[in-house]
Amino acid sequence: MKTDTAYGREARSEKPQSVTTLAEMKRKGEKITCLTGYDASFSALLDRAGVDVILVGDSLGMVIQGYGSTLAVTMDQMVYHTRCVVRGRQRAFVIADLPFMSYPEPNRAAENAARLLREGEAQMVKLEGGRIRAETVRHLVAQGIPVCGHLGLLPQSVHQIGGYRVQGKDQQAAETMLEDARILQDAGATLLVLECVPASLAKKITESLAIPTIGIGAGVDCDGQVLVLYDLLDITPGKRPKFSKNFMAETGDAVSAVRAFVDEVRKGRFPTEEQSF
């Protein structure tokens, strides 16, 4: 096995992750690990630490650019950061967010998603919303573009929902979200992020779908977990979200912190009830 001189570890020899390998992980009951990444250096670190998926999130508007939301992030910026991440990784699967107002209708969504795949070299795009996005998802998939859906707390709709709040708490909202998840799957989405959703609802959604779910503040029963990297490393300015964990506190260096996250997710030790709703 090849020695990784940059981190003093042995490089992983596994084949690159794909939509097929992620689907197989769900079937086998193996947890999927995902962290956000925005540049080549951190991308290489995450890859070597064993992270399965790197999400180039529009969260970069907050943790990189210093805005109070994700709304200011542009397509050009997403393409740039995605390209940087792809250059750093070897094995991890790369998903890129379609930023705010880049997918108001199917044709424009396809044009912008094509940029993320062609110029940014992403392997999948992520968009927010339920049944209202079904036509767009079908259109993207028809063009050969893999799609990850996103339900629950939708950061691009933060002003519409009145802030960063848990979604799906009452019965009607929970039933709507469950149906939205099924609609997105039927439209062709091959992955689904559930953000700030009651753990019991996230479990029900996960069990009802054939595609993998990736949770963030959605309990331990999702098929995988994602965190904003800067929250994990405790370098995000201000207060960390309830659903995050400072993995640096017990490890002391970035590589060990990421490895600890990977290990705890795979063993079902993260998130705990403390990081769930």
Q: Which residues form the catalytic set?
A: 195
Of 123, 132, 110, 25, residue with least CA distance to 83 = 123
Write the DSSP string, 122-189. Answer: -SEEE--BSGGGHHHHHHHHHTT--EEEEEES-GGGHHHHTSS-----SHHHHHHHHHHHHHHHHHT-
**Residues 68, 200: Cα–Cα separation, whole Å:** 30
Q: Which residues contact 277 (CB under 8 A, 6 or more apart)?
A: 166, 196, 197, 198, 199, 217, 218, 219, 242, 243
**Residues 122, 93: Cα–Cα separation, whole Å:** 8
